Structure 1
Amino acid sequence: MIRSATDFHQDLLNSIRTAAAVERTFTGEAFVDEAGRRLTEAEEVDSLIQGHFEGTGLRNRRIGFDGFDFGDEDGHVVLAVSRFTNNDELQTLTESDAKRLFTQTLGFVEAVLKGKLTETLEETSIGYQVAAQLMEQRHRTFKIRIYLITNAKLSTRVKSFPSEELEGMTIEFHPWDINRFQKVEESRLGREEIDIDLREWAADGIPCLKAAITSASVETYLAALPGDVLAGVYRKYGARVLESNVRSFLSVRGNVNKGIRGTILQQPEMFLSFNNGITATATEVKTEIRRGETRLIGIRDLQIVNGGQTTASIFYASREDNEVDLAEVFVQTKLIVVSEEQEADIVPKISRFANTQNRISDADFFSNHKFHQRMEEKSRRILAPPQPGSHFQTKWFYERTRGQYLTEKSRLSPSMSRQFEVEYPRSQLITKTDAARYLVSWSQLPHVVSSGAQKNFIQFAREIDAEWTRNDEQFGDEYFRSLVAKGILFNGVRGRVLRTDWYRSSPGYLANIVAYTIAKLTQIAQTEYGDSSFDLDAIWAAQRVTNELWAAIEPIALAVRLVLTAEDRPVTNVTEWAKREKAWEQTKLLNVKEAKLADFVIAASASDGGHRAAKKEQRLLNGIEAQIVVNDRGSRYWSELRDFARRLRAVSPKELGILSVAVGETGRIVTEAQAMVLVALEARMTDAGFKPR
């Protein structure tokens, strides 16, 4: 079912109102949070931080912003300005209003770059913090992207907002209205496609060779891509041209490779020989034949799946060193064109296989991990405890794929859609990035949580992948309930902080305060209460942070805020300070005597007993799930798989015996243990190329 813009607007508005009601905050603030989450998932920003500032700039003009992101892995800084209308009717934003909003944020940038703002603002204000950080990293920033986020629709008269140059920086304007948010949500990949015209850097295109066709759905092109073209593409589109797993890998390890830079400086003519080059995918390419030679002139939805560090290093070397000349630098390039229908499935596989020779681990490909499938299954089955005064029970919805909640809801009739939302309230949605925040905070790494969604997700992936490899049976029903409880605690603390007098009198840095509070809370439980753990079962049962629990936690929140905003902090910008491990080291030293947690912790031995029972339960559940899979496949499927395995001589006598049961030759039923063997065999044969007829 295709939703109209009006229906999408109403869904978004309801979501904003629900979030505002739950957190007792303003709908405008809830909208900035929601828009920031969507921009992060669309890979437009790393992690948009809400922060409202209004002031007066040059020539007494009104200036301001509503959010910012200094995740400058690609030399970009993001500022956002918001226009939210809490109206059931879809509103229109005129071109003049859009220009006025963009101009307010541009005015802020102008005042900062001309050094006219930090002198007049209070050092504790969010405006000063952002201005100081912008000045501090000015030397490594070449582009500022200003986003106008709105739940209105842009007037059809609006054509474009051309970029401007200011104090040696490029200023780009990106309007995101209700139509654009809807288009991205309903797209195949959850992000906007990139359409690159290579003639912008190479007037005649790039000579290329089309490899022999081996598949109707995949084409391959080989080329020697000029270094200045690759640098130009990266300069314009930034990390958006890096496949998400590669982007995460780079964000953790840094972008510049000294060896690559040395070759560019000292032997640029040998770069093609020395460097392994890049592998990239696209959904479409445009070519021209000139003088009998095929030339590449356009690429749609370019994603570099291997060679991200090469790309970034070439760009940074050319930008930061005047001696660098890319005229003799060429990069061997393999460009794989996949059909749009298969892009979501094939690109991650190409990325995985292209990176088998470098340090990118399985954790870097965590988005499709079985952990998410397990959590999704739990969320569709496990009921939350009934709440006082309610005659029905609800569930928590774990979103395994981006936009899954609204996609499933949109497929239903109006009456079934309402029933769906009763069963799975919007406030009980957990995305993968949400889970990452909850769990990494709980692991006492608040500085990693504060470093942005990309870096935090990689940490989350490493933790879960290691634990899953060690023993996946621990991820049972109890684990899911504890994950939800951690989410309730995280969001409950967030909502409670928002309502305190001390926060209202001096708002800001909410995300950092919450992450640090959760981390400090778990540290206190472990170190001051005899290696105890926090009682998550009680939170699951209550489905909220009670007044009594908040009374014990609030002193912790206030204490960590004082550490983050201390006048003697070594980093001016609070959000940047929160990313430093030293900030967490200082927080760990706090002695918060007012935090009385005795009633909210349990002995480690009691917790371990519950974990053992949960593993046994999950072991049984895994067997049942495997039986269901085996039965669903059918006897013909297992007969084909047996034939395939025999041809490869890759099946043991034990497996052949179980296969004879699965194909119905013995008259017996496959047991749970046998089903587990068959599922493992199926995975092995699938990797070897098995495809049922």
Structure 2
Amino acid sequence: MKIPGQFSAQINIEVADRAYYQIGEGAQKLRIDGYAGDPRDAEGVLGLIVCDFVDGDEVQTFGKSDVSPILNPLIRFLKKARTEEFRDSLNEVSPAFQVSDLIITTWSRVTKVKLILVSNRQYIGRDDAVKLAELGDVPVTWSVWDLARFERFDRSGQAREDMVIDFANDFGAPLPALKASQTDAALESYLMIVPGQQLAAIYDRWGARLLEANVRSFLQARAKTNKGIQKTVKEEPELFFPYNNGLSATADEVTCVRSEEGLAIASINNLQIVNGAQTTGSIHSALKTAKEQLSHVFVQMKLTVVPPDRSEEIVPKISEYANTQNKVNAADFFSNHPFHIRIEQFSRSVIFTAREGERHDSKWFYERSRGQFINARSRLTVAQQKKFDLEFPKAQLFSKTDLAKFEYSASGHPHIVSRGAQKNFADFAREIGEAWPKSDSKYDELWYRRLIAKAIIFRRLESEVPKQDWYEGGYRANIVTYAMAKVFHDANGQKQMLDLDTIWRRQAVSDALLRALLLAAAEAHDAITHPPTGVRNMSEWAKQQACWNGLKSRTLKYGEDFGSCLALVDTVRTEEREARANTVLTEGINAQAEVVKLKAPFWNNVMEWGRAKKKLTPKDMQVLEICSSMPRRIPTDFQAKHALEVLARIREHGFDSG
């Protein structure tokens, strides 16, 4: 089961998997079709999925009254699955056993159950994230993904509607506010005091969607800051306001009204808490631990309205400058890291030769931010869209988390990939954050081309694994990353390694390599579904280093043609050296062209300004004098690159070229 985006606030569908089970009839019927990962990785939210598919040429509709008969078998399954008696009655390889074992193991950590109804009919009700019931003190809600919602996703590039927080109708009353910006200000800003009960209720409904622009998610009560916040809520709630730094937030749009007390905000569209995740999460936790005290808690909020077309520029800066309570690693701001930007640039410029049997060369589209692909395409005419589709086939679209999966599968971290897209990406981001300052030259065009070769391998495996006779359903994501890691591990040695350059040149996996990958996939399936004695949850087993060690140590007989998939290490290294030499040459030529284009008078102004401000070194002066004497003297490529570095540096100190 693969559905884009997120079903709801905290449920990351990247880790969702099929888990089909059905038994009984009528009022005794139990059914589940899938689950959305480990609740411990989703702030305690357990996501369970049931499907409703109807045959027919015409799109059919259903309403709220039709929802209960579809959800009831899933609810019965949930109630049964919480019991060890039910779990132990199932075969350990059954998907139902795995879900039941997960529920029993994690129930003490579950804060909410989210039932997801996926249908190929059109839902005509207006409900979403609806409170259904409670199991003990755990609330159960449901929401629907129907054809119309999938269509909106496909058109908009996002898997959910805008998040509209309606204070007037849903959360008590409009929120008093003080406008903190002038009429002609570049951005609209407000100051507000948010009641703790209101903030907790908003987070309870929208969850992690509020924190997507935050550099960190809620760190749970392990962090010292969070323990202090929760202690204040419980013991001194009336002092929360003076003790806490409050929230910094952004929104796409706000609706203001006038009340007897003055200005108030009636609704906020797409609220993002860019600083204050710990405060928000801790206050939400108080719904369970200190509910009565929440009525005495108030939080200050600074809200900035950022138009969507400027959010990519503004929001990361607000997040970076506002986050001062806890140490923030450089990798936390990975969305705008130079690595990220460079890969995007390569993806728009690097052309790959057409596959055998196809007519058009193409590119791979890297989404540096969610929705870029859809937005880029939607701005074009019909004729331009056809051209765009040939240049950027949708099958060649990949995201940040996809990139991390490709890389970590190839580099021997399938157990980390199995922990989910976000955790895997966080590890990958830390690695890049540490490696980039030491040497960013490694991540050149050849590195990008080889990344695409890994993407081709990963995607081909994804499509082929479900077709195999040994595949019983479930664990596809784990099998794919483990199989890919195994082949790379076995292929790469002191003298030979997997020939990625042939793959990106052909834009295809050879038959010999596919046979090797599927052999490894069958072995990966066996390793994952046969954990050691005492370990019964296979999804959890796949997340362990020991699982990878077990597969890594197995000896596979790939066949004589596997040698055709390998290249000599010396040849691979020679390709890298030549690519880097070409990169240096190209950069030098481009720098020279840029310096010449700006002309001698410009560089004379740079030199005079820098000298007056005492911002130039003797070497800077020497290079700028050459640039200022063009065309009598032309700077070398190295001198041109230095001149552009000087220009960038003095612009940071206030030089304005006009």
Q: Deviation at 1:602?
A: 4.0
Tell me which amino acid in the other structure corresponds to 1:91. V
Task: List per-residue Cα deviations over 1:425-474 (Å, max 9, x = no partner).
Answer: 33333332221110021222222211222122222222233333222222
Quote the residue 1:594 is aligned against.
557
1:558 equivalent among 514, 522, 526:
522
How many correspondences in the alignment?
651
Tell me which amino acid in the other structure corresponds to 2:283. I
Tell me which amino acid in the other structure corresponds to 2:338. K
State which drifts further: 683-692 or 386-395: 683-692
Quote the residue 2:548 is aligned against.
584
- Indicate whether 1:610 and 2:575 are aligned: yes
Q: Deviation at 1:242?
A: 0.6
> Percent identity at matched positions?
33
Q: Deviation at 1:115?
A: 7.2
Tell me which amino acid in the other structure corresponds to 1:302. L
State which drifts further: 282-291 or 226-235: 282-291
RMSD: 4.1
Conserved? CA contact 2:216–2:277, under 8 Å: yes
Q: Deviation at 1:241?
A: 0.6
Task: List per-residue Cα deviations over 1:179-208 (Å, max 9, x = no partner).
Answer: 434545555987643222346797465554
Tell me, in whole angstroms, the C-alpha distance in 2 between the residues paired with 1:40 and 1:479: 34
| TM-score for both structures, normalised by structure 2 | 0.84
Conserved? CA contact 1:188–1:344, under 8 Å: no
Q: Deviation at 1:302?
A: 1.4
1:533 equivalent among 497, 519, 526:
497
Q: 1:115 to 1:638 in 2, by over 3 A?
A: farther
Quote the residue 2:460 is aligned against.
492
Q: Deviation at 1:247?
A: 4.4
1:107-506 alignment runs, 5 A limit: 107-113=76-82, 117-118=86-87, 120-150=89-119, 154=122, 157-160=124-127, 162-167=130-135, 168-184=137-153, 187=156, 192-198=161-167, 203=172, 206=175, 208-211=177-180, 213=182, 216-247=185-216, 250=219, 257-286=226-255, 292=261, 294-319=263-288, 321=289, 325-355=293-323, 358-390=326-358, 392-503=360-471, 506=472
Q: 1:204 to 1:66 in 2, by over 3 A?
A: closer
Q: Deviation at 1:164?
A: 0.5
Q: Deviation at 1:633?
A: 7.8
Q: Deviation at 1:484?
A: 1.0
1:514 equivalent among 480, 485, 491:
480
Q: 1:449 to 1:209 in 2, by over 3 A?
A: same
Conserved? CA contact 2:32–2:49, under 8 Å: no
Q: Secondary structure at the match of 1:436?
A: helix
Q: Secondary structure at the match of 1:55?
A: strand
Tell me which amino acid in the other structure corresponds to 2:572. S
Conserved? CA contact 1:534–1:600, under 8 Å: yes
Q: Secondary structure at the match of 2:91?
A: coil
Conserved? CA contact 1:185–1:191, under 8 Å: no
Q: 1:421 to 1:257 in 2, by over 3 A?
A: same
Tell me, in whole angstroms, the C-alpha distance in 1 between the residues paired with 2:158 and 2:650: 28
Conserved? CA contact 1:49–1:69, under 8 Å: yes
Q: Secondary structure at the match of 1:470?
A: coil
Tell me, in whole angstroms, the C-alpha distance in 1 between the residues paired with 2:158 and 2:635: 39
Conserved? CA contact 1:46–1:453, under 8 Å: no
Gaps of 5+ in 1: 1-31
Tell me, in whole angstroms, the C-alpha distance in 1 between the residues paired with 2:640 and 2:516: 49
Q: Secondary structure at the match of 2:527?
A: helix
1:5-24 alignment runs, 5 A limit: none
Conserved? CA contact 1:439–1:483, under 8 Å: yes
Q: 1:575 to 1:188 in 2, by over 3 A?
A: closer
Tell me which amino acid in the other structure corresponds to 2:489. Q
Tell me which amino acid in the other structure corresponds to 1:572. R
Tell me, in whole angstroms, the C-alpha distance in 2 between the residues paired with 1:79 and 1:350: 36
Q: Secondary structure at the match of 1:568?
A: coil
Q: Deviation at 1:639?
A: 9.1
Conserved? CA contact 2:82–2:104, under 8 Å: yes
Q: Secondary structure at the match of 1:325?
A: helix
Q: Deviation at 1:629?
A: 6.2
1:568 equivalent among 513, 532, 535:
532
Tell me which amino acid in the other structure corresponds to 1:158. G
Task: List per-residue Cα deviations over 1:537-595 (Å, max 9, x = no partner).
Answer: 2333443333322333334323332232225365533223322334334444x322434
Q: Secondary structure at the match of 2:20?
A: strand
Q: Secondary structure at the match of 1:137?
A: helix
Q: Deviation at 1:165?
A: 0.9
Tell me, in whole angstroms, the C-alpha distance in 1 between the residues paired with 2:221 and 2:290: 27
Tell me, in whole angstroms, the C-alpha distance in 1 between the residues paired with 2:524 and 2:274: 40
Tell me which amino acid in the other structure corresponds to 1:307. G
Tell me which amino acid in the other structure corresponds to 1:378. F
Task: List per-residue Cα deviations over 1:363-400 (Å, max 9, x = no partner).
Answer: 22222333343333333444434544455544333333
Tell me, in whole angstroms, the C-alpha distance in 2 between the residues paired with 1:254 and 1:557: 40
Task: List per-residue Cα deviations over 1:508-555 (Å, max 9, x = no partner).
Answer: 1010111122223333345xx447532222333443333322333334
Q: 1:295 to 1:426 in 2, by over 3 A?
A: closer
Task: List per-residue Cα deviations over 1:135-154 (Å, max 9, x = no partner).
Answer: 322222232223334566x2
Conserved? CA contact 1:46–1:452, under 8 Å: no
Conserved? CA contact 1:225–1:331, under 8 Å: yes
Conserved? CA contact 2:81–2:99, under 8 Å: no
Using CA pairs below 8 Å that are at least 6 residues apart, which structure has the higher relative contact order? Answer: 1
Q: 1:103 to 1:654 in 2, by over 3 A?
A: farther
Q: Deviation at 1:350?
A: 0.8
- Indicate whether 1:623 and 2:588 are aligned: yes
Tell me, in whole angstroms, the C-alpha distance in 2 between the residues paired with 1:468 and 1:255: 30
2:12 equivalent among 45, 55, 62:
45
Q: Deviation at 1:238?
A: 0.7
Quote the residue 1:18 is aligned against.
none
Q: Secondary structure at the match of 2:310?
A: helix
Q: 1:70 to 1:475 in 2, by over 3 A?
A: same
Conserved? CA contact 1:41–1:190, under 8 Å: no
Task: List per-residue Cα deviations over 1:247-285 (Å, max 9, x = no partner).
Answer: 458599989833333343444444334433322112334
Task: List per-residue Cα deviations over 1:149-178 (Å, max 9, x = no partner).
Answer: 4566x25x4332542113143333322344
Q: 1:231 to 1:391 in 2, by over 3 A?
A: closer
Tell me, in whole angstroms, the C-alpha distance in 1 between the residues paired with 2:566 and 2:580: 22
Q: 1:348 to 1:333 in 2, by over 3 A?
A: same
Q: 1:222 to 1:188 in 2, by over 3 A?
A: farther
Tell me, in whole angstroms, the C-alpha distance in 1 between the residues paired with 2:642 and 2:8: 37
Tell me, in whole angstroms, the C-alpha distance in 1 between the residues paired with 2:606 and 2:160: 37
Tell me which amino acid in the other structure corresponds to 2:525. R
Task: List per-residue Cα deviations over 1:610-648 (Å, max 9, x = no partner).
Answer: 322222222233334555666788999989988987886
